[in-house]
Amino acid sequence: MFRMVVDQLRKLRRSETFKYSLAAPSRAMLFARQRQNHGVFSIEIRENCGFFAIMQMVLFILMHCEENRLTPRISARGGLYGDVKGTIDWFSALFESVRPENGHATSHNVRTSTVRDPVQLGFRQRYDAALRLRSASDLFRSYYRPAAHIREEVESTCARLGISASTLGVHFRGTDKKFEAVTLPWVDFCRLVDKTLMLNPQLTNIFVSSDEPAFIEFFSAWPFERPINVAPAKLLSNGDKPVHFSGHPGLEIGREALVSSLLLSNCGHLVKMPSYLSAWSKIFNPDLPVTLAAPPKSREFWFPDSQIWIGQEQNMSGVPA
């Protein structure tokens, strides 16, 4: 009985609801500080979570700014993708603004608030259920695009590997994702890819991306009737540790994650397991047809995969999206 009580308390401490409640005072102080910026919302992210989990925070910040007619000023330092001293703004190193500099945003001393956990903003509870794929894509792309050197790398890689509208993109997130999504045996996943190829004869080649070397080896040996190209990632997972916890240089991990997502977004169809990385391919290219092989678990049913799965279920049942 005592052990059950202890286990429940541990689950409560780890729950987002508990952390959200605990962060209420610091959240109130953050918004009070930002109100002094007179129309500018300036946030520096220093989070130790996955690259595209941080991109979700960026998306939420943009939603908040649109809703409240604020000018966003977003940076990201330290954490898993920056340097230890926090001198590199890795978000600005990988993305560039598509909007002209707002003179109002620089005409006074702007106070920047540092965020080390999403609950300090509380935006997921407010905005996640309201997000839709097309509008989220339009929103993000109206503010930011990948930096020129990233776009050039993606373009040259697509040309070299023949990635185009006739390519079936495949993404399998392994390692720690088993705790967040329903697992699917590799054999069943490959059979789903086979079925997708049968239903889409216009797809003439396959591009596969994964953080799990053993899966890539298994997938490449499967007798698909299409040539296969493997994502040119150099930084892979170390055993059961995800790639962003495997000791690789931070900025390079972020660059490879972004490039991988963009390469998948250039395909003609995408088959994937739940993953922020490949779900953001749909944000970068909202017209990309996506087949989600398994749903995220109920406690991890977050955008964009939540909306991809709901739309997929509606299409299968004949209900209008």
pLDDT band for position 175 (cuts 50, 70, 90): low
**pLDDT above 80 (res 70):** yes
Selected residue with higher pLDDT from 140 and 101: 140
| Amino acid at position 175, single letter | T
pLDDT number for residue 7: 46
* For helices 276-284 and 250-265, angle between their N-to-C axes, nearest 10 degrees: 50
Task: Determine the Cα–Cα distance for residues 135 and 308; give it in Å rounded to an integer.
Answer: 14
Domain ranges within the chain, ordered by starting residue: 2-145, 148-317
List the structure tokens of 58. 């960026």
**pLDDT above 70 (res 249):** no
| Amino acid at position 19, single letter | K
Selected residue with higher pLDDT from 74 and 7: 74
pLDDT number for residue 86: 86
**pLDDT above 90 (res 131):** yes
37 within 8 A of 54, measured Cβ to Cβ: no
List the structure tokens of 243. 């790639």
* SS3 of residue 188 by DSSP: helix
List the structure tokens of 99. 């909007």
Instruction: Name the one residue in this structure whose structure tokens are 């050197």.
Output: 149
CA 146 to the chain's CA centroid: 14
Over residues 268-299, the pLDDT tens digits come to 999 999 999 999 999 999 999 999 999 988 88
Burial of 117 (0-12, 13-18, 19+ CB in 10 A): middle
**Domain spanning 148-317 has what CATH number?**
3.40.50.11350
Question: Considering only CA atoms, which of 318, 300, 296 is closest in space to residue 309?
Answer: 296
pLDDT number for residue 109: 87
Task: Determine the Cα–Cα distance for residues 189 and 181; give it in Å rounded to an integer.
Answer: 14
Over residues 196-243, the pLDDT tens digits come to 999 999 999 999 999 888 999 999 999 999 999 999 876 544 445 454
Question: Considering only CA atoms, which of 96, 89, 115, 97 is closest in space to residue 251?
Answer: 89
List the structure tokens of 128. 């996640």
pLDDT number for residue 319: 57
174 within 8 A of 242, measured Cβ to Cβ: no
Task: Determine the Cα–Cα distance for residues 235 and 68; give it in Å rounded to an integer.
Answer: 40
Average pLDDT over residues 169-187: 76
**pLDDT above 70 (res 16):** no
pLDDT band for position 320 (cuts 50, 70, 90): low
